[in-house]
Amino acid sequence: MNVLIVMIAKIAKFFLNLLGRGTAFPGKIALKLNKNILKYFEMPKTTIFVTGTTGKTSVVGTIYEVYKNSGYKVCSNLKGSNLLDGVTTAVIDASNLSGKTKVDVLVIEVDERYVKEVFKYLTPKYFIVNNLSRDQLARNGHYELVFDEINKSIKDKTHLILNADDPLVTKFRLNKKNKITYYGLKENKYSTKKNKIETLDLSYCPICHKKLIFDYFNYGNLGYYHCPNNDYNRPVCQFEAELLKNEFKVEDVLIKLNNDALYNVYNLLACYTVCRLDKVSKENIVNCLNQLSLKVKRLNEFKFGENKGVVLLSKNETPLSYNQSLEYIKSKKREKTVAIGFTRISGRYDLKDLSWLYDINFELLNDKSIQKIILIGPFAYDLAVRLKTANIDSKKFLYCLDYKNSLDYCLKHSKGDLYCVLYFDLNYLYIDQLKERNML
């Protein structure tokens, strides 16, 4: 029976591939016919699962590239979803009809809310948690609930690879027998001594409940922290990066950066860490990361006249993602204009709640180098209210409710470089329009 189910799923995937569609539908069929189908499959020697609030797709795509370019047979769910259906599709694709693996490495992106569902059936060799923070209230509820669900799902034999700079992530070490490897980033030119402590996702020691002391922040909740009672400190990193100009150093090698946003360093460092632990040739890892062809999905640069433009994908309801974009913009000292917009609050739900705007550190835009702020789409005035509460001068505000033609508006009215902080809907619209004009 399972052979027939796998055959049906593979046939479905074949025809969908002919249509140029990467989909979770074959996995959905298989699970409908046998909800326990994942127990049927043999896993390859190396299985790497990745979760986190942001950066999952980039990390999985980069790991895939490293193994592929190092001569391994590798499969992932990059073209499908990161929910149970998409994971099942990837496992089917990596196996023959009898459930035997056809690959050396399986790299899987798992939505943080679905880790508990996937881990019912599969136990990875390595599990990377890149970050955790508040995200999509309607779907996730409180981030501590997400943490608890993941924590209860982790089996002892999984090797945890954790971002040492995120105090919520390193909480996974408590009461665990797992082997754990930490990676992190040293203090650097973008580090700050202060942050909006009310936006932190873990402010208090989980053991003694004293307020954590942060020596510095890299961004958001990530930085160097310790408990005043020494109960809960940033762990020692086996792989710690030092940020240099256009590259970072880890161990004795240099990794080039295609952009200097700090989330990019963390993503690449997570990839380097797991590949080194799995004994991929260091030379192959470095060569691949330094010649990385994987397109950076969150950041696209273009030129207009004498100025630079940047389109930054920033997720609604996800302060960590938004704040990374704002901090990246603040780090650029040239005269600039910032455009912000979205046409819908959620890509998944019909929501009216805008309270998440007040979790975002828009105070970062209180910067003299920012000449204008263009607010785009049907929520432009809601954004204006939030920016006013951040004490940003409303004389800088321009409004463009006609979002379909907002790129032209931004190019016409911007002063200096242009940074566009956009949700998926407008992000894709801008990318398509820029490609049509051969500006990307």
Lowest mean pLDDT among 145-149, 151-155, 236-240, 433-437: 145-149
The domain in which residue 312 lies consists of 299-436
Q: Is 271 in the same domain as 331? A: no
- DSSP for residue 211: B
Helices and strands: H and E segment counts in the chain:
13, 17
Sheet holding 253-256, edge to edge: 74-76, 105-109, 46-51, 126-129, 159-163, 180-185, 239-244, 247-250, 253-256
Total domain count for the chain? 2
Predicted pLDDT of residue 10: 87
**Parallel/antiparallel/unpaired status of strands 253-256 and 46-51:** unpaired
Rounded to an integer, what distance in angstroms lies between the CA atom of residue 29 and that of residue 19? 18
User: Is the distance from CB of 317 to CB of 379 less than 8 angstroms?
Assistant: no
Q: Is 282 in the same domain as 310? A: no
Q: Is 195 in the same domain as 100? A: yes
> Would you place residue 295 in the very low, low, confident or very high pLDDT band (cuts 50, 70, 90)?
low
Last residue of a domain, one of 267, 290, 313: 290
Q: What is the pLDDT of residues 56-113, one digit of tens each?
A: 999 999 999 999 999 999 999 987 789 999 999 999 999 999 999 999 999 999 999 8
Report percent pLDDT > 90 for the chain. Answer: 72
Q: In the numeric block, which tokens belong to residue 396?
A: 């800088």
Q: Is 82 in the same domain as 145? A: yes
Smallest Cα–Cα separation from 32: which of 75, 101, 89, 80?
A: 89
- Distance from chain centroid for Cα 385: 28
Sign of CA dihedral 46, 47, 53, 55: positive
Q: Is 286 in the same domain as 313? A: no
> Would you place residue 221 in the very low, low, confident or very high pLDDT band (cuts 50, 70, 90)?
confident
- DSSP for residue 265: H
Mean pLDDT of 25-48: 94
pLDDT above 80 (res 296): no
Burial class (CB in 10 A: 0-12, 13-18, 19+), 170: buried
Sign of CA dihedral 143, 172, 46, 101: negative
Rounded to an integer, what distance in angstroms lies between the CA atom of residue 214 and that of residue 222? 9
Q: Is 274 in the same domain as 307? A: no
Predicted pLDDT of residue 17: 73
- DSSP for residue 204: B
Q: What is the pLDDT of residues 17-34, one digit of tens each?
A: 776 676 788 999 999 999
Last residue of a domain, one of 273, 290, 307: 290
Q: What is the pLDDT of residues 372-407, one digit of tens each?
A: 999 999 999 999 999 999 999 999 999 999 999 999
Rounded to an integer, what distance in angstroms lies between the CA atom of residue 305 and that of residue 109? 39
